[in-house]
Chains A and B, each alone.
Chain A
C-alpha cells in the first residue's frame, strides 16, 4: 500500500470520527482538542501516570527524593557492578565507564560516561531502569544516587566528598555537555 493510499484511509476515517465526536461533544466542550478516534482509552489519574514514569530529563524533573555518597556507591559497585564493568569502571564483559576525557577527536576515542555522556541525569535514568542487568528496577533511589556519585567521582566530575541528590545531580556539568550536534531538522 502506498503512502498516499494510507493517508487517504486516515482522512476517510477522520471524517467519520469527527461525526462521532460531534455527536458526543456535549460533555467535551471545555476541552481544547477533540478526539477523532473511537475514544476507547481509559482515563487515568495524574498520580497513576506519575507512578509509571521512570524517565529523567536533563532538568531533573521527576527525580525521586533521595541521596547517595561516593563511598556508598563504591561499596554497591563492588557488590553489583564490578563483575561486568570491571574494577573502577574499567570495563570487562560490559563496557568501560571511566576515562577518555578530552580524547574524542583523537585516533582512539573512548566513549565513556566521563568523556562522552552529555548529562548526568541520564546515569540515574539508565541505572534505575536497566541495571543491574539481572535485576532492573530493583535499586532504591538512594542506591542509584550513590552509584551516580561513584561513577561521577571516578570520572573526575565531582569530588570524593560531594553528595549526589535530587538537586545536585541535574546541576552537574558533564565535560562533553556541548559535544552533540542535532542532525534531523525536526530535532532542532
Chain B
C-alpha cells in the first residue's frame, strides 16, 4: 500500500520495499544505452562451447569496462591529482580495491617491501623500526572503514552546480575492509612519553613524503597500521606495504606508504595542515585540524547519467557515512526538501563505514528534485547548502557536506541542482 501521507506533488515515496511485499522496480538506464533484443535465444552461444580457462587473478567482465575511476590530474604533472570512485555504478557498501579513490601528491611509489621500514621515534623510550615481515607477526584487527578526502564534494562550493556523475562529484570517498596492527601496540612498544608527546607526526615514503600531524589521543584510541585491504595486501596506490587508518578522519591523515612516526609536543605545521586541508571562512580566518568528516549522503540512483525511461516504481538508493560513528537515519525528499520520508538502512549499519540506504519511489513522470539527508548517532544532521554557505562562505574548499539535490526532468533525465 502507498502511504498517503508521503504522497508528493511529483510522485510518492514509499516507506520500505519490505512493506510493499515483493515488487519489481523499473530499471534506470544509461543515457547512451543501446536497445537490447527483446527475445533472447533459448541456447546462447556460450552454452555450446567450453568456456574460458582459469585465471590467477580475476578481472571484471569486459562488458563492465566503463566502471572505472575517473582521473583528474595536473596536465603538467600527471603524478599530482586524484581519481574518483564511480559511486553511481556500484552497489552495497564495499568499494572494490581497484576502484578505491586516489589522491597522490607525486605519484605511486614502487616500494620493494623488503626494503621498506617504519620508524617510530621522537619522544619515545626507544626508537624502533619495523619491517612488513615484523608487522605480519602481530595480532591484527579488521575494520570496515570509509576513507574520504577532505576535498571530496568541493565542487559544491561553486556558485553554480557542476554537471557530473555522482562519483565525479562525491567519489573521493571509498569504503573497504582494512586489516592491520593497532597503532597503540607499536607506540607502546617504543615507549611513547604520553605526558609530553601530545602529537604524532606521520610521514609516507612517496616522492614528496606527504605528512600529517595527528593528536596522540586519536593515535592511541583507534588508529591502526593497515596491511590488508578487502582481504588482500594493500594495492600500491592505496599505500602498499603499510598505511595509516584513522577511522572517521579526513583522508590526508591516513598516511599511505607509512615510513615514519615521530612523537612530538606540538603539531609539525607541515604544508598539508596549514596551507592545505584548512578552511578559509568569511572573516578571513581558517579552520584548522578539522579532522572529522561530517555526516554526508548522496543518492547514487537515480543520479546524473542514470535516467528513468518512463514513469513507474523505482528504488532510490545511495550511500551515507559519518566520521562520528554510525548513521542513524537517512531521509529522502522528492520535492526539494519540502517533505521527507525515512529510507531503509541496509544492515549492518557500522561506525565509520558506508551505509547503504534504499526507498521505493513511484515516479509519475512529473519533474522532481530528489535529496537525501543523513543524521548520525550524535544527532548531527547534514546541512542544507544554504546553511553551510551561511556558516562557512564559499572559499573553504575542504569539508563540503551539504545536502545534494538531483533534479529529475519530465523526460527522466537527472541533473545536479542546488535545492
Contacts and interface: CB of A to CB of B under 8 A. Distances in A.
Chain B associates with chain A? yes
A133 B191 contact: no
For the side of the interface on A, what is the size category?
A: 35 or more
B76 A93 contact: yes
Nearest to A16: B139
Contact of B270 (A2, A109, A126, A186): A126
Report whether over half of chain A's contact residues are helix, strand or loop; otherwise say mixed: loop
Nearest to A118: B274
A130 to B, nearest CB: 4
Interface in B113-137: 119-121, 125-131, 134-135, 137
Contacts of A84: 76-77
A59 B203 CA distance: 19
Most buried by A among B201, B211, B270: B270
A72 B286 CA distance: 33
B77 A133 contact: yes
Interface string A120-163: 01100110011001001100000000000000000000000000
B256 to A, nearest CB: 15
A41 B130 contact: yes
Given A53-B260, A54-B209, A130-B208, A93 B189 contact: no
For the side of the interface on B, what is the size category?
A: 35 or more
Interface string A160-188: 00000000000000000001111110110
Contacts of A26: none
Given A111-B280, A126-B270, A129-B208, A117 B275 contact: yes
Interface in A38-73: 38-46, 48-49, 52-59
A39 B189 contact: yes
Contact of A1 (B127, B139, B142): B142
A109 B185 CA distance: 44
Given A6-B141, A180-B286, A187-B289, A55 B268 contact: yes
B275 A55 contact: no
The 5 A-B pairs at the shortest CB distance, nearest first, are namely A41-B128, A105-B284, A93-B76, A187-B289, A186-B215
Given A38-B138, A133-B208, 15 more contacts: A3-B325, A9-B141, A42-B128, A84-B76, A84-B77, A94-B77, A104-B280, A104-B284, A116-B286, A118-B269, A121-B269, A122-B269, A129-B208, A136-B207, A179-B284
Interface of B: 74-77, 79-80, 105-106, 119-121, 125-131, 134-135, 137-139, 141-144, 181-182, 184-186, 188-193, 201, 203, 207-209, 211, 215, 217-218, 222, 259-260, 262, 264, 266-271, 274-275, 278, 280, 282-292, 325, 350-352, 395
